[in-house]
Chain A
Amino acid sequence: MFLYIKQKNMKFVYRRSIYETPIEIMFDREYVSTIVNQLYKQNIDDYIITAVNDKKLKSFIEAENKKNKIYKNLNTIQITKIKENENDEIKNILNELSKDSKKLNSKLDDILTKPVYANNVITKSPAISPNNKKSKDDENTFIPQIDTEGMNIKTNIKTEKSITDASSSADVLRELLKGL
């Protein structure tokens, strides 16, 4: 993935190694969330994102790609809307550190290593109230009490059709176990 976002009046490129941490960002954080969401939904591996009408930036990325021969199947996605208000935190950091690129990289690295996600329907987790009583089953094993009250979540679950007949195997096994 090659993520490149230009923010109005703030030209700075943060570059990570393409393999281990494959994100290159110029951004504010909410904007990045928007982009990442689009990438996620489209489920594509190699792509470039540029700001709308920024031909210079797009050319630069394409030239970089050609030079480094990193992305064979390049997709260019154009973002249709750029957020107007700039992130104050990022702006301040950039202003403060703009004369020292090493410090700037380091600071941005700190920020970028934190995940960026969007707010969404939040469900409540169970109240876990570990007690200090040891299990009756095993005096040496501490087991927390697990209260599942209020649990209600949705997870990404894949399903596969069962290809063996569990019931008939169970009948054979039941007979076998009887004989033991």
Chain B
Amino acid sequence: MGKGKDVSSVEIKRPICIGLDVGTMNLVCTRSDTNETKITRNVFLPVSSDEIGLSDLSELSHIVNDDGDMFIIGEDAFKFSNIFGQEVRRPMKRGVISSDEIDAVEILTLIIKDLIGDLDGQQAYCTYSIPAEALDSDKSITYHEKIFGRILSSLGINATPLNEAMAVVYSECQSTAFSGIAISTGAGMVNCCTSVKGINVIEFSTEQSGDWIDKNVADSLNMVKNRVTNIKEKHLSLNRDFREHKNKKIRRVLEALGYYYTAMVDNTVNRILKEFEEKVDLDLDEELPIVVSGGTSLPDGFIELFQTEIEKHDIPFEISEIRHATNPMTAVSNGLLIKALATVPK
């Protein structure tokens, strides 16, 4: 005979808060009930079922839709595309959901569900990242914003969007009462915002970011873009002379990456200053920190490069420091979690 439930010991479960960084290259998730942040590649590779002939690749992550279409997803897709010299496909492009990929929503739903994990029937509140409108594109972000809201809603999660760069402020600028300039350099976009005491004064984005660098390097050297990305992630240091590398082919890629990184940083700095000049009418009496996050900022020497480019200009505000986020890959999702925790009733 079973025991009766002791009503007095029934635990009231607190809602789970989630920060979900929806990036062009990576999806990053931080939950309030764990001290771990989860990251996965936001890529996939379609596979024709009539080509599948072996049973020993059991470790691969993949999905099959109702039409029998098969897709390798996440990090496996990235690794295998490199082996085959193919381009991976992306559910997102230039910071927003891809209009070229009819399977994008299905794939994103599956990856996000897996990334967030089991909610055990608890109420969940998620703040997810959205980009600012791009200065160098007339694309609207409305569809992107609504689709992710709907994906999370379909998973039973209450969802609220937040500007990606503002999330970096929440994550990294507590010591300055959430005042600062945040720059999130992702694969698809560079997102910038200026926050004063937690108020987003100005935000914008540009499409000159990681993918723009990789594509231009690949075009310049007649290569597949994945290979450039791979070399960038493995070998690039903006502090080191590319000529130090022994492999001639890698030297060429590193040289080109250096040129395009400089162009990207120069463009970003110019945009920040132009936006400030045209749109911000603030008499700031405090120094602002500049915090840089995102995968594109990971190479050694990126902050020094940024500093060098900044020093070439007259800046209309005082800068206290230019620094990396504590963890450039997880700062956005951490900031999103902070916002979710701050707005959900205790």
Interface residues of A (CB under 8 A from B): 1, 16, 18-23, 29-30, 33-34, 36-37, 39-41, 72, 112-128, 135, 137-138, 140-148, 151, 153-164, 166-167, 169-174, 176-177, 180
Decide if B341 touches A117 in the complex (CB within 8 Å). no
* One of B81, B150, B177 near A176 (C-beta < 8 A): B177
A-B pairs with lowest CB-CB distance, top 6 = A118-B54, A21-B85, A170-B341, A118-B57, A156-B75, A173-B342
Q: Which residue on chain B has the smallest CB distance to residue A130? A: B105
Decide if A174 touches B342 in the complex (CB within 8 Å). yes
Q: A155-B115, A167-B341 are in contact. Are A29 and B329 (CB under 8 A)?
A: no
Interface of A is mostly: loop
B337 contacts which chain A residues (CB < 8 A)? 166, 170
Binds A, one of B36-44, B292-300, B302-310: B36-44
* One of A119, A153, A174 near B110 (C-beta < 8 A): A153
CB of B114 to closest CB in A, whole Å: 5
Q: Say if the beta carbon of B247 comes within 8 Å of chain A.
A: yes
Interface of B is mostly: mixed
* One of A16, A33, A157, A173 near B38 (C-beta < 8 A): A157
Binds A, one of B182-190, B220-228, B259-267: B220-228
CB of A85 to closest CB in B, whole Å: 12
Q: A37-B56, A162-B334, A163-B327 are in contact. Are A155 and B61 (CB under 8 A)?
A: yes
Binds A, one of B1-9, B64-72, B129-137, B236-244: B64-72
Interface residues of B (CB under 8 A from A): 19, 30, 32, 35-41, 45-48, 51-66, 70, 72-76, 79-81, 83-86, 105-106, 109-111, 113-115, 142-143, 146-147, 149-151, 154-155, 170-171, 174, 177-178, 197-199, 222-224, 227, 246-247, 249, 326-327, 329-330, 334, 337-339, 341-343
Decide if A115 touches B114 in the complex (CB within 8 Å). no
Bound form: Cα–Cα A61–B38 in Å = 42
B73 contacts which chain A residues (CB < 8 A)? 153, 155
Decide if A157 touches B58 in the complex (CB within 8 Å). no
> How many residue pairs bridge A and B at CB < 8 Å?
240
CB of B234 to closest CB in A, whole Å: 9
Q: A126-B110, A146-B154 are in contact. Are A20 and B85 (CB under 8 A)?
A: yes
Decide if A173 touches B339 in the complex (CB within 8 Å). yes
Decide if A160 touches B330 in the complex (CB within 8 Å). yes
CB of B147 to closest CB in A, whole Å: 6
Decide if B198 touches A158 in the complex (CB within 8 Å). no
